[in-house]
Amino acid sequence: SQKIEQNSEALNIQEGKTATLTCNYTNYSPAYLQWYRQDPGRGPVFLLLIRENEKEKRKERLKVTFDTTLKQSLFHITASQPADSATYLCALDQDDKIIFGKGTRLHILP
Amino acid sequence: DTEVTQTPKHLVMGMTNKKSLKCEQHMGHRAMYWYKQKAKKPPELMFVYSYEKLSINESVPSRFSPECPNSSLLNLHLHALQPEDSALYLCASSRNLAESSYNEQFFGPGTRLTVL
């Protein structure tokens, strides 16, 4: 079965810099890959979806890339702010459901 | 209305109690989900309903019993739980199941369950 690896459990970034989070998967390339944000004690919130035939997707300060050769997606937050501090989860499809990676806890330091 | 609501927000129950978690959405979504999330872990899928029918049961113990009375409501009935069942229980919905991988899931705020 598919495995998802978000290789940084926690990441500290200085305010104003670009935060880059990594999501790797092990088996077949998913048709789609999603990124969610989760704040403590709350449900995840959808951020972006990227299809396997798309190299890059942007939304405001967010950018996602998808490299099916490397089996990897990168999630970038530019001009990071303390309010961006949260856990970021990548998710991909498997058998009519989505499975989540363990997430990366991002701390933006003022 | 793009909100999924869950009640109660917090629940404390003993191992012999029977309780229910409730979830509601009015976005016309036809797929609804229950997830369990432990601290510092990702959400784990428990059940999926598609058009009010149970579509996926991820080998969840029978002390958890889901119910989908109509297209807007999803319940999770709890009976004889164990302390290790303490977790955040999340409900989610999406437009439909067949397109679940490329439709975003809308999550509720969750119910924080503590089993004593």
> What's the confidence (pLDDT) of residue A98?
84
Contacts of A106 in chain B (CB under 8 A): none
The residue among B19 and B100 whose pLDDT is bigger is B19
| B42 contacts A43? CB cut-off 8 A | no
Tokens, residue B22? 């409730």
Residue of A nearest to B105 (CA): A46
With beta carbons less than 8 A apart as the criterion, state whether B29 and B99 touch.
no
> What's the confidence (pLDDT) of residue A56?
95
B45 touches A at CB < 8 Å: yes
Q: Is B101's pLDDT higher than 60?
A: no
Q: What is the dihedral of CA B61, B31, B7, B12, to 10 degrees?
A: 10
Percent of chain B with pLDDT over 90: 80
Mean pLDDT taken over chain B = 92
Q: Coil, strand, or helix at residue A95? A: coil
Q: How far apart are CA B115 and CA B85, in angstroms?
A: 7
| B90 contacts A99? CB cut-off 8 A | no
> What's the confidence (pLDDT) of residue A29?
76
> What's the confidence (pLDDT) of residue A52?
85
Q: Report pLDDT digits (tens) over B41-53.
A: 999 999 999 999 9
Q: How far apart are CA B90 and CA B22, in angstroms?
A: 10
With beta carbons less than 8 A apart as the criterion, state whether A33 and A90 touch.
yes
Q: Select the residue of A31, A42, A49 nearest B109 (Cβ to Cβ).
A: A42
Q: Is B100's pLDDT higher than 60?
A: no
- From B11's Cα to the closest Cα of chain A, the distance in A is 14
B96 touches A at CB < 8 Å: no
Contacts of B92 in chain A (CB under 8 A): 43
> What's the confidence (pLDDT) of residue A13?
95
| A43 contacts B90? CB cut-off 8 A | yes
Residue of A nearest to B33 (CA): A97
> What's the confidence (pLDDT) of residue A105?
96
> What's the confidence (pLDDT) of residue A46?
94
Q: What is the dihedral of CA B4, A62, B100, B8, to 10 degrees?
A: -20
With beta carbons less than 8 A apart as the criterion, state whether A65 and A74 touch.
yes
| pLDDT grade for B27, boundaries at 50, 70 and 90 | very high
Q: Report pLDDT digits (tens) over B80-89.
A: 999 999 999 9
> What's the confidence (pLDDT) of residue A38?
97
Find tokens 């229910």 and name the residue. Answer: B20
Q: Which one of B47, B104, B114 would you mutate to disrupt binding with A, by most A Cβ within 10 Å of its Cβ?
A: B104
Q: Is B98's pLDDT higher than 70?
A: no
Q: Is B92's pLDDT higher than 90?
A: yes
Taking 70 as the pLDDT cut, the residues of chain A under it are none
CB count in 10 Å sphere of residue B26: 13
> What's the confidence (pLDDT) of residue A30?
79
